Amino acid sequence: MGQGLQNKTTKAVTIKALAGARGFPPLVVVMFHFSEGHHYSGWRPLDFLATRGYLWVEFFFVLSGFILTHAYWPRLGDLLKLRGYGEFLRARLIRLYPLHLFMLLWILGLVIALRALGHAGGYLSIFDAKYHQDISTQGFALSVLLIHAWNTMPSLTWNGVSWFVSVEFALCLLFPVLLWLAEGKVWRGFALIGCGLAGLTALLLTSQHGLDITFHNGVLRGLSDFTVGVGLAVLFRRVKARDRMPDWVHSVLQVTLLALLGYIIMHTGWSHTRYDIFTVLPLMALVFALAFDRGIVARGLQMKLPQLLGEWSYAIYLGQTAWLLFIRFLEQCVYPAPETIVLGLRFSDLIWWLEPLCLVIVCTAWGALLAERIELPLAAKLRARFGRRLDPQSVPTPN
């Protein structure tokens, strides 16, 4: 494809509001993982937001299906050819794999270092404790192959959050088929949305943990969400061409969806129940509402800070495990006894809020460092080596 056409396609697919919308969810996911593994704050609004952190994965999968469909729709013919399919997968792996591999090796280094410290200090490493995460050879090998969340493991393994990357890779393998199904009449969009929601509902009704489905049936969860995103992109393509609504209408829709989401989070009880679906529905609708890049919420997401957080979001998400594990090490070997007075307060009272606050700040800074020094430079080098075909530069690929 000529450079001129590439630039034209690149410009057409940029949706800044959706790029900025990626920035907030990883921080909620960080809070969820911290709260589940350590403690909740006791403040109802924050706890209810944090405990539903895993549901923002639905937002990412829907966003992924939406953006890839929106960007690659004109390239369906290429994707259905063997060469084009291979180039598409190569482009997606350039996006997903380098940081995944880096974090996998980082966790390996952490395992070696903390075990060495435990041996030297005469105590048990957190990786040898009773409830440690899986760090098996099998889990490592499957993680390298990106198939560790294809019902191949009995638990999360190594960099646990990378189950998302494994599922995303599976969705990339299936994407040309879904894009082919989306081609044609607008009813196909509604049909895809219906099929996705039906799949998600079936998983919810058979799950014992709500929609917190990861290493087992995570691909089915991702496929259901992704299919909804593909369907929404079909509808968006039709509506966008006829959109004459004033900005205030978009603003009202976006604010209404956020208000509805807030109400549902605060009034549907604790997480991991069948009520999860009520949180998911407005999250999905937000992808569609923000895609027009108009309205008050969209304008806020187009500002510099959300755009930066959106650019770092994949790294924030993948990098969090290292610091969650480091907190366990600090609690085991560094922190004083809970009743120790520090700065006039009991240490347990002081750390109650300080720990999660510092975690969010550190994970954001670590994500920025990973993105700017590992993820983006490596992707640029690989693209320079292998080319950009079937990889629009400005596609804000979700995490």
DSSP structure class, residue 157: B
57: amino acid identity, one letter: V
| DSSP conformation letters of 273-333 | STTHHHHHHHHHHHHHHHTT--SHHHHHHTSHHHHHHHHHHHHHHHHHHHHHHHHHHHHHH
CA distance 358 to 7: 41
CA angle 21/26/32 to nearest 5° reads 130
23: CB partners within 8 A, 6+ apart = 301, 305, 306, 307, 308, 309, 310, 312, 313
User: Coil, strand, or helix at residue 211?
Assistant: strand
**H/E/C letters for each residue in 317-359?**
HHHHHHHHHHHHHHHHHCCCCCCCEECCEEHHHHHHHHHHHHH
User: Coil, strand, or helix at residue 259?
Assistant: helix
pLDDT of the chain, 399 residues: tens digit per residue: 333 333 334 444 579 999 999 999 999 999 999 988 888 888 888 899 999 999 999 999 999 999 999 989 888 888 999 999 999 999 999 999 999 999 999 999 999 999 999 888 888 888 888 778 899 999 999 999 999 999 999 999 999 999 999 999 999 999 999 999 999 889 999 999 999 999 999 999 999 899 999 999 999 999 999 999 999 999 999 898 887 889 999 999 999 999 999 999 999 988 899 999 999 999 999 999 999 999 999 999 999 999 999 999 999 999 999 999 999 888 888 888 888 888 888 888 888 888 899 999 999 999 999 999 999 999 999 988 876 665 554 333 433
Q: How is residue 290 written in tokens? A: 């923000």
CA distance 258 to 290: 11
Helix runs in 183-275, H state only? 187-206, 218-241, 247-267
CA distance 107 to 127: 11
46 CB neighbour count, 10 Å cutoff: 14
Instruction: Please count the CA atoms within 13 angstroms of the CA of 15 that sit on its side-chain side.
Output: 29
On the 0-12 / 13-18 / 19+ scale of CB atoms within 10 A, 70 is buried
